A and B are shown apart, each in its own frame.
Chain A
Amino acid sequence: MSERGLTVTRTSHLRRRAINGVMLGLTLASTGLAIAFLFSVLGWVLVQGGSALNLDFFTQLPKPVGEPGGGMGNAILGTLILLALASLIGIPIGLGAGIYLAEYGGGRLGTAIRFLTDVLTGVPSITIGIFAYTMVVLPMRGFSTLAGGFALAIIMIPTVTRATEEMMKLVSGSLREASLALGIPQWKTVLRVVVPTAMGGIVTGAMLAVARVAGETAPLLFTAFGNRFWSTALDRPIAALPLQVFTYALSPYDDWRAQAWAGAFVLVALVLAINVVARFFARGIRSQ
């Protein structure tokens, strides 16, 4: 090789090494940045929310403007009621649809439903709020817990469906065959053998779905609407933690802003706790 050729090779080699170093560094920096955002959000919620949190926050009603103290007890209760209602509607439908997809979903109908379920995951939650408004609020002539629970249930359905399907497919065929070979009909095999075996994963999916809707605000704005008082009635507006955080965050009062941070703290703690417990379940099934 001529001397000139050698130099070209050497500089191009150095150039390639340099590009390699820069690009790999950038990917590392991107990862660091993503984690930094997470820690910044969580840190602020922890510090600001933690310092504003006290027992009253969990037990008291919001106080009128100017009066210090008060809490979001009604909103915490409201969120729990909404989540229970949403689970009651959303989980059975998602479970059934997931069983269908896993057991009978090989055909064209199954493919269509699987595809629509995936697509439904990406529908903006605010449009689901509009849908719930036209389906429940208009016929009932008023905002209600029921409408809020209905909206959240729709958001839960696709997550539960796909989790159920995926988990049932992981159950080994020999287990199913053993059951069928004993003369047990397919429906019993599914309900008594396949679903119980996949239960850990299904529970994980359902919990992640609950965690996802626990912080949803947009679909509740014109369904559950919010309420300044204690309420458990299904046909009345009900308070919800995310709604309360939204209202207080944009208020001009320092007191309310502090409460918004406290609300965010409780909300994040709830969501993260559900996530961690759900992953614990998931690990349980894998080690079985």
Chain B
Amino acid sequence: MTENAARAVQVEKLGLKTRVGNRGDTAFRGVVTLLACGILALVALMVIKMADGSMPAIQRFGLGFLWGTTWDPVAQEFGALPFIFGTVVSSSIALLVGGPIGLGAAIYLSELAPDWLRNPVSFLVELLAAIPSVVYGLWGVFVMAPWLRSALEPLLSRSLGFLPLFQGPSYGIGMLAGGLILAIMILPTITAVSRDVMRAVPRTQREGMLALGATPWEVIWGAVMPYARSGILGSVILGLGRALGETMAVTMVIGNRPDISASLFAPSYTMASVIANEFSEATYNLYLSALIEIGLALFGVTLLLNALARLLVWRTARMPAGGG
């Protein structure tokens, strides 16, 4: 784009444009600049509108909103901690399970897959991102949750039951179900971005390692991963951002109960879920405002995470071919 702009400046300097062209150019540039600034305005307006909407709750509860544990609309008492807890724990499960799998698939697709297999398999993995959230929810409720209840959760409580994490009755529906469905949903993000970042690692890095007699895994671990480190971190943060804000699938499988429990089998509730479930039923202003404040918190956190992730991914893409 800089080239085009520079070229346009050159043309202008040479005085090669007719007057009509100039006027048209000015108008055209004005229109597209306005549309582009619309995006700036949109983001600014989102911040303003949501801050404005959550004002009553912020004034009433202050920072205590974030660690209050009671959510009782009837008593007009609102504390967001159970939802923050649910969001943080379910997203952590998603990263712990989905991160390694997503990264493993990215390594396979970038470094190991034969050429004829690479594109079709990449396409299939990315197709995971195209499936609507509500369809994951449906699959989670009728396929994954029964399997958790009858197979995985009994197994976990038999083998690791001494940990409080895996105690208590298993319903299938609960924190673990929410985390696992998120793990599947962030897979394509982590895989696609990490794969692209690894593909950008220069050949010479790999060849250097190979020439020293390294095994293929040592090449990946010693040359590719360190070089692509910040981009891979970026992809994981992008996945985290998606997990934090993901709504429908989690709402359908997490149980929607605002409790803080040590057990992963117990039902929980997330920030996005409580907005989805209660927003259109919020009967008075303070209630609505409390929900908007949760939305604002979610918005702020995902905005920061995305900004950070983009910077990391950009940095890797811009790294010089020689250094690391």
Contact between chains at A38 and B124 (CB < 8 Å) = yes
Distance in angstroms between the alpha carbons of A190 and B4 in the assembled complex:
11
Q: Decide if the interface of chain A is mainly helix, strand, loop or mixed.
A: helix
Residues of chain B lying within 8 A (CB to CB) of residue A261: 138
Distance in angstroms between the alpha carbons of A23 and B103 in the assembled complex:
12
Q: Contacting A185 at CB < 8 Å: which of B24, B245, B292?
A: B24
Quick one: which of B69-102 are within 8 Å of A by CB? 100-102
Distance in angstroms between the alpha carbons of A211 and B132 in the assembled complex:
9
Residues of chain B lying within 8 A (CB to CB) of residue A93: 35, 38-39
Task: Say yes or no: A124-B302 contact (C-beta < 8 A), given A116-B39, A261-B138.
Answer: yes
Tell whether A225 is near chain B: CB-to-CB under 8 Å. yes
Tell whether B275 is near chain A: CB-to-CB under 8 Å. yes
Distance in angstroms between the alpha carbons of A157 and B39 in the assembled complex:
8
Quick one: which of A123-174 are within 8 Å of B by CB? 123-131, 133-135, 143, 154, 157-158, 161, 165, 169, 173
Looking at A67-75, A196-204, A216-224, A227-235, the stretch in contact with chain B turns out to be A216-224
Contacts between chains A and B (CB distance < 8 A), count: 312
Residues of chain A lying within 8 A (CB to CB) of residue B52: 134
Distance in angstroms between the alpha carbons of A209 and B29 in the assembled complex:
25
Give per-residue flags for B124-160: 1 if the beta carbon is below 8 A from chain A beta carbons, else 0.
Answer: 1101101111111111011100000000000000000
Contact between chains at A96 and B245 (CB < 8 Å) = no
User: Shortest distance in angstroms between A169's beta carbon and chain B's nearest beta carbon?
Assistant: 7
Q: Contacting A41 at CB < 8 Å: which of B11, B103, B131, B292?
A: B131
Contact between chains at A122 and B302 (CB < 8 Å) = yes
Contact between chains at B137 and A127 (CB < 8 Å) = no
Q: Contacting B302 at CB < 8 Å: which of A109, A123, A176?
A: A123
Residues of chain B lying within 8 A (CB to CB) of residue A161: 36, 39
Looking at A55-63, A80-88, A99-107, the stretch in contact with chain B turns out to be A99-107
User: Shortest distance in angstroms between B195's beta carbon and chain A's nearest beta carbon?
Assistant: 11
List residues of chain A with CB under 8 Å of any chain B CB.
Answer: 16-17, 19-20, 23-24, 26-31, 33-35, 37-38, 40-42, 44-45, 48, 92-93, 95-97, 99-107, 109-110, 112-113, 115-131, 133-135, 143, 154, 157-158, 161, 165, 169, 173, 176-177, 180, 183-188, 190-191, 211-212, 214-218, 221-222, 225, 242, 245-246, 249-250, 257, 260-261, 264, 267-268, 271-272, 275
Contact between chains at A187 and B27 (CB < 8 Å) = yes
Distance in angstroms between the alpha carbons of A154 and B45 in the assembled complex:
12
Contact between chains at A120 and B42 (CB < 8 Å) = yes
Residues of chain B lying within 8 A (CB to CB) of residue A113: 36-37, 39-40
Task: Say yes or no: A97-B187 contact (C-beta < 8 A), given A40-B143, A126-B245.
Answer: no
Instruction: Name the residue in A102, A216, A217, A250 with the highest tally of chain B Cβ atoms < 10 Å from its Cβ.
Output: A217
Contact between chains at B295 and A130 (CB < 8 Å) = yes
Contact between chains at B128 and A218 (CB < 8 Å) = no
Residues of chain B lying within 8 A (CB to CB) of residue A216: 132-133
14 A-B residue pairs with Cβ-Cβ distance under 8 Å, sorted by A, are A19-B217, A20-B218, A31-B113, A38-B127, A122-B309, A126-B272, A127-B46, A134-B50, A183-B16, A186-B8, A222-B280, A242-B132, A245-B134, A249-B142
Other A-B contacts than A34-B128, A124-B299, A249-B137, 19 sampled, CB-CB below 8 A, are A27-B107, A27-B108, A28-B108, A34-B124, A34-B187, A37-B187, A45-B138, A105-B36, A106-B5, A115-B307, A129-B279, A131-B46, A131-B49, A177-B7, A186-B11, A218-B133, A246-B134, A249-B141, A272-B130
User: Shortest distance in angstroms between A98's beta carbon and chain B's nearest beta carbon?
Assistant: 8
Contact between chains at B1 and A104 (CB < 8 Å) = yes
Contact between chains at A104 and B29 (CB < 8 Å) = yes
